[in-house]
Structure 1
Amino acid sequence: MKNRVLSTSAGMYLNYLIVGMSIIILPQNMDVLAKQWQTNLAGVAVVISAVGLGRVFVSLVSGVLSDRLGRRLFILLGGLLSIAFFLGELLCHSLTFALFFAIIGGIGGAFLDSGTYPALMELFPGHKTIANVTLKAFVSIGQFTLPLLISFIVAQRLWYGWSFILCIAVLVVVVLFLTLFAQFPTTGHSTKVKEQAAKTIPVESQKSGNIWIDGLLFAVFGYTADGVFLLVSIWITKYGQEVVGMNDVSSRALVSYYSVGSISCVLLTIWLSHRGVKDIQFLITYMGISFISLLLLYLFPTPIISTLMAFIVGFSAAGGVMQIGITVMGTFFPNKKGTATGIITTASAIAGFTVNLVAGALATNLANVILFDVGLALIGFISASLITMRYHHIFNHQPKQTSDVLTVKHS
């Protein structure tokens, strides 16, 4: 059983290696895709935004249904729709179809999130943060690897589509493996299951937050956290070229430095988690660092500062802060992990759609895109601060409650 659990989690992590590539594969191929889709860079930005729109449609619903129907269904559907996304974007020759497949990709990503995050928390109940943050490590590895692969393809004058084919091939293998061999957790709603859970989870996890107050705070956090790292990962290459004045190779390398920072943060978070640092402490610290580093990136657009800040922004904004937020919200709502995931991912999906539209409108001066990102980071830091206050109020002062378990018992 242990080997089945480890192999299942390995399959889910490989999915997110490709998710990391999917985040930047369109912006990394902006020029050639603009020609193929018969549009301009602003049109490509709209397509990238449409991925977020697809997530908006289904994130919350898929999270709720994941609690009821199980994790396997949504993980497999997410993989299949992601395959359709890569294949469709590669083969289509119009902006209309590019938008359609971008929405399909967004729906696929939402399905993966609603199944994968709760599944990992249930497979590794004693190491929820580490399990979810490790997902971010694989996303970062994907984001680090893809620019190097595309640089090789460009240098060798090969067809740009080979990067898409690689993603499709990995997803096909993972979907087949998870279909035939995976062991997913059971999502039971019976009295027996809930009573057993109440005995095994920490007292902290038997308390719960207010869905309106805390749900809103986590939604704002999810929106800003996702917006911050999306804008950097999508626009940092163009920013390096047009504002900083770096050449093509150096500007593309900024994404790799960003990804190295992200991976470094994941490793540090895992190390500190083992030594007793709480999730809530990571949340406010990383958002504060994101704000300061983005502000410096905007104020001092030099090659050295841009390279250093790309690493630090990757460390703080893309090093698992979103995954930590999902884990913390799972602590606020211990018996509704799928729903909690759906709330944050819906907010992040709205960010994926809207911030790219704003960025596309600001793209005539890419310095304004980074300034917009600075504003998002500031709002994210404020929301993380309020979440921290709520966390201490609930779990340090609220009397022990088991009302959620009792509600299930009588339903």
Structure 2
Amino acid sequence: MKKKQFIPLASGIYINYAILGMATIIISQYSSNFQKMWNTNLAGISTVISMIGIGRLITVLFAGDLSDRIGRKPTMIVGMVATIIFLIGLALSTSMIMAAIFALFLGVTNSFDDASSYPALTDAFESRAASMNSLVKAAMSLAQFVLPFIVAVAPDAKITLILMAIIIAVDIILIASSTFAAQTTKPAATKQKIAAAATKQTNNRPKMAIDGMALIILGFTISFTFYVYSQYLPNFGSTVLGLSAGTAKGLISWYAISSLCSVFITSVLVTKIRPMYLVTIYSAISLLFLILLVSAPSLLMIRITSIVIGFFAAGGIWQLGLTVLTQYFPLKKGKVTGYYSFATALTYFVGPFVSSFIINDTAVSVLRVFQIDVGVTLIGVAIILVVLLRNLKYHFI
């Protein structure tokens, strides 16, 4: 089947993820607007954001199995319908409780979209799966770059939410009418070849209790670094630095455009440098600039740090960590990917939930949230160093 037949499918997926990228940060971008609509404060906003993580935690472990059983298309459409419920729900919410309930649906979206979209692209573009999948992240980053400008033009959150819901509704029609490739399954003979290759590769095998667990926890720390940073970046700008609302919200554009560039640059670097080394370097650089930011906050420093975090923490390092994990356990790719994704889903709840007990309208409270981000990133650096040293000693890969 000609690849051109799958172009509408790919286009629909990228449009879907562009809206998802906006939806991920829209609560923080319209924070002051939502505080008035829902009669709450910054702590309440954090609680609503944390519910996204709960929705993802509830669904992440069975969404993949459902995608394999009922097919990519219906699974994807379920995720897109959940997006519409989230967007319209936020627009109609009059309290924090209502908003928190609707926020659960964006977590459902994350699980169902990831479980269907990435496999659908891989099935349709087998020879170019990596590059086609990397464009998903590019679509999200580009949309997040644009969102602050949309917020400046349309300060009423309801208008933006409704327009996004309309785009998703049209996109559902595009996806529903698109051709999907047949789902691929790996035959037993191929599994035997993988097992033979793994055995031949080295007599030393990574231990799930040590190396596997470390890399799964790394999935949490990597996600925590960029997710907490992106969610509370506008608060840092307005509260700690005293920037205007427009300038503070615009800081996310530095982060997003850097993340977009990283997607393409990292995809080239990974062909020349081993993923494990890139994860180590990227994590260390992110940690350094987070420390510099909380030690000496300034407009210049936060712009530089936003570029650094966008590039080194949000532009592809998560995928690199997953690559190392699946290289370590080639016969358990599905299982370890599920664990890794679950750890990431935990971030979407733990980060905002913990922050809700700390953050308020004071600069000190916002700085404490970023200090926690530094601490978690430091743990991530320590973990990848342990994994790296064990690999150098035992030559796992």
TM-score of the aligned structures, taking structure 1 as reference length: 0.85
- Per the alignment, residue 318 of structure 2 pairs with 322
Alignment match, 1:153: 154
Gaps of 5+ in 2: none
Alignment pair present for 1:289 and 2:285: yes
Q: Distance in 2 between matches of 1:356 and 1:35?
A: 19
User: Is the Cα contact below 8 Å between 1:69 and 1:187 reproduced in 2?
Assistant: no
1:195 aligns with 2:189: yes
Whether 1:242 and 2:243 are equivalent positions in the alignment is no
Query: How has the CA–CA distance of structure 1 residues 114 and 98 changed in structure 2, closer, same or farther, with 3 Å as cutoff?
Result: same
In the alignment, is the contact (CA less than 8 A) between 1:133 and 1:323 conserved in 2? no
Q: Which residue of 2 aligns with 1:231?
A: 228
The Cα RMSD (Å) is 2.8
User: More displaced, 42-51 or 137-146?
Assistant: 137-146
Report how far residue 319 of structure 1 moved: 0.9
For residues 331-387 of structure 1, the C-alpha deviation after alignment (integer angstroms, 9 at most, x for no partner) is 344465544332222111111111111112221321111111111111122233344
Question: For residues 207 and 13 of structure 2, what CA distance do their matches in structure 1 show?
Answer: 31
Alpha-carbon separation, structure 2, partners of 1:171 and 1:209: 43
> Are the structure 2 counterparts of residues 128 and 220 from structure 1 closer, same or farther at C-alpha, using a change threshold of 3 Å?
farther
* Structure 2 CA distance for aligned equivalents of residues 92 and 236 of structure 1: 24
Q: 1:184 and 1:258 mapped to 2: Cα distance?
A: 35
| SS of residue paired to 1:53 | helix
CA distance in 2 between counterparts of 1:122 and 1:337 reads 17
Does residue 63 of the first structure (1) align with residue 32 of the second (2)?
no
Aligned to 2:302: 306
Amino acid at match of 1:280: M
Contact preservation (8 Å) 2:76, 2:117: yes
* Worse-superposed segment, 177-186 or 96-105: 177-186
> CA separation of 1:66/1:385 partners in 2, compared to 1, >3 Å: closer, same or farther?
farther
- The residue number in structure 2 matching 1:47 is 48
CA distance in 1, matches of 2:162, 2:127: 37
Measured in 2, the distance between the counterparts of 1:130 and 1:18 equals 20
Using structure 2 for the length normalisation, give the TM-score. Answer: 0.88
Note the residue ranges of structure 1 that are not aligned, 5 or more in a row: 399-411
C-alpha distance in 2 between matches for 1:276 and 1:204: 22
Report matched runs for 1:124-163 at 5 Å: 124-125=125-126, 127-154=128-155, 159-163=156-160
C-alpha distance in 2 between matches for 1:14 and 1:289: 32
Query: Residue 169 in 1 paired to residue 166 in 2?
Result: yes
Is the CA contact 1:12–1:116 (under 8 Å) kept in the aligned structure 2? Answer: yes
Provide the residue aligned with 2:384 in structure 1: 384
Structure-to-structure mapping, 1:85-96, within 5 angstroms? 85-96=86-97
Secondary structure of the equivalent of 1:319? coil
Select between 61-70 and 345-354 the one with higher mean Cα deviation: 61-70
Q: CA deviation at 1:179?
A: 1.8
Paired-residue identity, %? 30
1:373 alignment partner in structure 2? 373
2 CA distance for matches of 1:73 and 1:390?
A: 43
* Paired residues, number: 389
Q: Which residue does the alignment assign to 1:409? A: none
User: Could you list the per-position Cα deviations for residues 235-276 of structure 1 after superposition, in whole angstroms to 9, with x for gaps in the alignment?
Assistant: 111101111222222212211111111112112112324x53
Q: Which residue of the other structure, out of 337, 341, 348, is the alignment partner of 1:345? A: 341
Q: Aligned partners of 1:43 and 1:276: how far apart in 2? A: 46
Distance change >3 Å, CA 358–CA 188, structure 1 → 2: same
**Which AA in structure 2 matches 1:49?**
S
**Larger mean Cα displacement after TM superposition, 281-290 or 3-12:** 3-12
Cα distance in structure 1, aligned partners of 2:291 and 2:322: 26
